[in-house]
Chains A and B, each alone.
Chain A
Amino acid sequence: MTTPTAISPAPVLMPRSLRQTAIGILVVGHLLVAACALADLDRFFANWLVLFVFAATIGIGALFLVALEYVVNARWSIPFRRLSEHLAGLIPVSLLLAIPLFLGMHHLYEWTHADVVAADPILTQKSAYLNIPFFAVRFALYYLIWLLFYRLFTRLSQEQDRSGDEALTRRGIKLAPPFIILFAFTMSFAAIDWMMSITPHWFSTMFGPSAAVGGIVGGLALLTLVSAQLKIQGMLPERIGPDHFYNLGALLFGLNTLWTYMSFSEFMLIWYSNLPLEMTWYLQRQEHGWSLVTLLLVFGRFVIPFLALLSRPSKMNLNRLRWVSILLLATYGLHLYWVVLPGIPHLHDGPFSWMDLGFPLTAIGYGLFAWIWRSSRAALVAARDPRLESGLSFHL
């Protein structure tokens, strides 16, 4: 029964033009980024942090989708799983991107300055957690966990390309629950370390969970974009049809609404209690033109995608899925920009500058780089997964 899938387990080489485009984008992006670093070092490090978090969380979100499929024993997503595994290649790439972050900690985090901490009783109390050695230890721990599971999941799947052994699927099912539990903790703490500690007096218990869900939405949006693009170019099996894409779109719709729900709950409780300590974080994002970014996020990250994916046929429409995913990825980056920049004293003066232009370009470049690297290692579909046939024959 499982033999008629004539899908080759050999990797599909991406066209040369894609590689040239990636190199071109990276070169131009890095030139603009270097110009930003020369003009304003604070701005460079803040934008670089956005770029780093964007890449890392999307990679981990993609890995989460792999684990999710194992843990709920989903069939429809099996044809897409290899694409998620490829996208999780952003995790090792993001480790590369973390180097400038460590060089620029003094520009980003006020708790790294001993004199500021000594003069501030609250920061002195928090210094047991917020100090550079412990920050580095936690950072290493997160990456140890993520890279370990990244390696386990991708190797298991590629081994199956050779052997077609069902025991490997069972191993994935065993690995997934511990990863999901660790994912919840590491994503929460990473969000607190990297982004919340920019404003070290402020805290919100929803910050970590909504960052974790934001990463999953980012990973899922990139997966949707890549799979819709490949389908349009005819690089995916014929039998991946509208029903598969409907599920992808429905999951994207649901998870993005969940993210909005969490973010709005966070905002509403803080707005309602109106405590000076908590409210300042949102007030910072409502002045000096940042309210424009806030509005862009409300519409670009919720209202427009929500309406665009509300009807049933729209979730099967590949072009619709493609532009909604691009919009969601762009606004996810914008959201991280909105979280990071206003917290840094002189960047608070206003959003958007020519200096920011290089960073989205660089992000696209590194994304293409990760994609070309991963897709040269394994096929686009887990061709010899014993459950692939049932995944391909999925109908709503």
Chain B
Amino acid sequence: MSESRKVVGAVALYPSPDALVAGLEEARKRGFTRLDVVSPYPLHGIDHLLGKGPSKLGYVALVAGLLGVTLSKVAQWWMSEVDYPLNVGGKPLFSWPAFVPVTFELMVLFASIATVISMLAIFNRLPQYGSSLLRSTLMRDLTCDKFGLVVDARDPQFTSGGIRAALGGSAVLGIDLLHEVRPSRFFSEQIFSVRFLLLLVAVSFVSVTATHLVWKYAGALPPFDFMKAQEKLNPQRASSIFADGQGMRPLQAETVPRGQLPYRFADDPDGAAARMVNPVPLTAAALERGKDRYDTNCRHCHGLRGRGKGSLTSAFPKAPSLHGIKVRNWTDGRIYHVLTVGQNAMPAHARQVERDDRWRIIHYVRALQRSLNAPDTDLQ
């Protein structure tokens, strides 16, 4: 190590924490102010002796932890109450007890990541590509079982010549001057150097490939596939759970599935027309849902606006326009009858579309009809 480099400080080596504390107090008595301590493990209370207040890191952890709690609660509320409401066993959509574990984990995650990053970036001022202390011959002891007292060269009491005498004491095992670090050959001071970026790409490639291979091959081996390979009921699949080998279960005799009341007017279209009224109130939400169901189930034949110009018209018999005088004069009940049991080439839609959704489609069809054939009263 050439002595021509600028001296940035000095380190004194002590055999024990007690000797270090004695040396530290001695140095402070001599008027040194820019002092620091290097130790293989945390020395509680040393901040106080260095004349530093308690670390601010705890506040970072507190704020980040609270942020994690808030974010997780908001995210879970939004996901399960707003974006994708899912009824789980009749519990409230926002079931806070069930969300406590996730909240707890996110609190820990946010707090620990924020603590580590702020410790490195704010309190330790990283990234630095080297430290003058690392070049010291005493560093090996400092990472093992010895304790170091570091004096910054910017300290007014510091002189390159006099520091050895100033720090010397019976307990001191050795003193070394610390020199300015020059950028290394491989890593420059710039974080976006070509070599560094190439290294980053290589590391990402290796880790992504390894992850991919593990997921693809190891994940399909027992015991990792137990959850996927377990016996369960799948629609349209065989299953060994039931004696008849069927996965889909036939209806029990004398039962009615929820939301699927038997249709009383199957052979009686006139009865349907006369005796049924639309039970679903005409609201914006009902129209919205009706449009959604119409676009899913009706549009490919009857067309976007109900004029019978759907995308399937070349392959199937042409579907009639819904704006004809016949359909316009039908009651809601009569249209419901067609939706439920079918008509001519149109199959029954009772299985695909739930009862109330059929009524909502009728609301939407009425809106379509009115858009082309508005009554005079609408124009006044």
Contact = CB atoms under 8 A, between A and B. Distances in A.
Interface of A: 243, 264, 267-268, 271-272, 274, 311-312, 395-396
Contacts of A271: 97-98
Contacts of A272: 89, 91, 95, 97-98
B100 interface: yes
Contacts of A311: 58
Contacts of B90: 274
Interface string B321-340: 00000000000000000000
Contacts of A274: 89-91
B97 A395 contact: no
B100 A395 contact: no
Interface string B202-240: 000000000000000000000000000000000000000
A243 to B, nearest CB: 8
A53 B246 CA distance: 55
Contact of B98 (A243, A268, A395, A396): A268
A312 to B, nearest CB: 8
Given A274-B89, A274-B91, A264 B100 contact: yes
Closest 3 CB pairs of A and B: A396-B44, A268-B97, A271-B97
Contact of B44 (A267, A268, A395): A395
B45 interface: yes
Interface in B219-277: none
A268 B91 contact: no
11 contacts: A243-B44, A268-B97, A268-B98, A272-B91, A272-B95, A272-B97, A272-B98, A274-B89, A311-B58, A395-B44, A395-B45
A274 B101 CA distance: 18
A243 B90 CA distance: 51
A396 B91 contact: no
Contacts of B89: 272, 274
B45 A268 contact: no
B24 to A, nearest CB: 15
Q: Which of B54, B95, B97, B100 has the most CB of A within 10 A?
A: B97
Interface string B93-109: 00101101100000000
Nearest to A274: B89
A308 B44 CA distance: 21
Contacts of B101: 268
Interface residues of B, number: 12
Nearest to A271: B97
A267 B97 contact: yes
Contacts of A267: 97
B199 to A, nearest CB: 40
B25 to A, nearest CB: 16
Contacts, number: 24
Contact of A396 (B45, B58, B95, B97): B45
Nearest to B62: A310
Interface in B1-55: 44-45, 54
Contacts of A268: 97-98, 100-101
Given A311-B58, A312-B54, 4 more contacts: A243-B44, A271-B98, A272-B89, A396-B44
B195 to A, nearest CB: 44
A56 to B, nearest CB: 31
Nearest to B101: A268
Nearest to B88: A272
Contacts of B100: 264, 268
Nearest to A264: B100
A196 B45 CA distance: 47
A396 B44 CA distance: 6
Nearest to B18: A395
A259 B7 CA distance: 55
Nearest to A313: B54
A311 B101 CA distance: 23
B86 to A, nearest CB: 14
Nearest to B44: A396
Contacts of A396: 44-45
A321 to B, nearest CB: 18
B95 to A, nearest CB: 8
A268 B98 CA distance: 7
Contacts of B44: 243, 395-396
B54 to A, nearest CB: 8
A273 B54 CA distance: 46
A274 B95 CA distance: 13
A312 B62 CA distance: 13
B97 to A, nearest CB: 5
Nearest to A311: B58
A312 B44 CA distance: 11
Contacts of B91: 272, 274
Interface in B51-106: 54, 58, 89-91, 95, 97-98, 100-101
Nearest to B45: A396
Contacts of B95: 272
Contacts of A264: 100
A236 to B, nearest CB: 21
Contacts of A395: 44-45
A287 to B, nearest CB: 18
A311 B58 CA distance: 9
A17 to B, nearest CB: 39
Nearest to B55: A312
B80 to A, nearest CB: 14
A264 B54 CA distance: 34
A33 to B, nearest CB: 38
A264 B100 CA distance: 9
Contacts of A243: 44
Nearest to A396: B44
A396 B90 CA distance: 52
Nearest to A310: B62
A396 B97 CA distance: 37
Nearest to A268: B97
A396 B17 CA distance: 12
